[in-house]
Amino acid sequence: MNSALFQFLNITIIAFVVWLIPLQFIPFLIWLERKGSAFIQDRVGPDRTDVLGFRLFGYIQNFADVVKLLMKEDVIPLQANRFYFLLAPFWSMMFSLIPLMSIPLAGSIHWINTTIHFQVVNLNVGLLFFFSITSMGILGIVLAGWASNNKFSLIGGLRSSAQMISYELSMAMSLITLLVVYQHADFQTIVHEQTGLYHFFGYTMCLPNWGFFLQPIAFLIFLVASFAETNRNPFDLPEGESELVAGYHVEYSSIKFALFFMSEYANMVVVSFLNVSLFWGGYEVPYVSTAQLIQSPRIVLLVLSGIIFIMGLLVFVVLFRHGWKQRTLYNGVKKWEPFLLGTGMAFIGLIFLILIPFWLHWNFPAWFPLALTALVQFGCLIIKVVFFCWLFVWVRWTLPRFRYDQLMNLGWKIMLPIAMLNFLVTSIFVILK
Partner 1 sequence: MTNPLNPENYEATGLEFQAENTQSNLTFVNLGPSHPATHGTLRALCALEGETIVAAVTEIGYLHRGFEKDAEVHTYQQVIPYTDRLNYVSAIMNNVGWCKAIERMLEITIPPRAVYIRVLTSELNRIIDHLVCVGANLVDIGGLSNFWYTFNVREKVYDILEKLCGARLTSSYMRLGGVAHDLYEGFENDLKVVLKEIWQSVKQFSKLNNNKIFLNRTRNICVVPKEMAIAYGWTGPTLRASGINYDLRKEEPYYCYPDLEFEVPVGTIGDIYDRIFVRMLEIEESIHMIEQLLKKIPTGPVFTEDKRVALPPKTQTYGNIEGLMNHFKLIIHGVCPDQGEIYDVTESANGELGFYVISDGGKNPYRVKCRPPCFMNFAAYHEMIEGHLIADAIANLGSINIIAGELDR
Task: Name the site residues for partner 1 (rule: CB under 8 A).
Answer: 37, 40-43, 151-152, 155, 159, 233-234, 236, 240-245, 397-406
Q: For residues 82 and 403, which CB has a smaller minimum distance to partner 1 in the complex? A: 403
Contact (CB, 8 A) for 316 and 345: yes
Please report how close the Cβ of residue 180 comes to partner 1 at its closest, in angstroms. Answer: 31
Kindly report the CA angle at 408 between 407 and 412, in degrees rounded to 5?
Answer: 125
Q: Which helix (H) or strand (E) holds 101?
A: none
How many CB atoms lie under 10 A from the CB of residue 70? 11
Shortest distance, position 139 Cβ to partner 1, whole Å: 22
Burial of 200 (0-12, 13-18, 19+ CB in 10 A): exposed
Minimum CB–partner distance for residue 36 and partner 1 (Å)? 11
* Closest approach of partner 1 to the CB of residue 233, in Å: 6
Nearer to partner 1, 133 or 155 (CB): 155
With beta carbons less than 8 A apart as the criterion, state whether 96 and 19 touch: no
The smaller minimum CB distance to partner 1, of residues 414 and 428, is found at: 414
Specify the residue, 91 or 152, whose C-beta has the smaller distance to partner 1: 152
Nearest distance in Å: CB 150, partner 1: 10
Q: How far apart, in Å, do the first and last CA atoms of the chain sit?
A: 47
Report, in Å, the least distance between residue 27 CB and partner 1: 22
By beta-carbon proximity to partner 1, the closer residue of 242 and 331 is: 242
Residue placing its CB nearer to partner 1 in the complex, 328 or 406: 406
Q: Is 51 helix (H, G, I), strand (E, B) or coil?
A: strand
Per DSSP, 149 falls in state: T
How many other C-beta atoms lie within 10 A of the C-beta of residue 297?
A: 18
Please report how close the Cβ of residue 248 comes to partner 1 at its closest, in angstroms. 15
39 contacts 45 by C-beta, under 8 angstroms: yes
Task: Count other Cβ atoms within 10 Å, centred on residue 371.
Answer: 16
198 and 207 Cβ atoms separated by less than 8 Å: yes
Phi-psi sector, 360: left (phi>0), alpha (psi -120 to 50), beta: alpha
**Nearest residue (CB) to partner 1, 74 versus 241:** 241
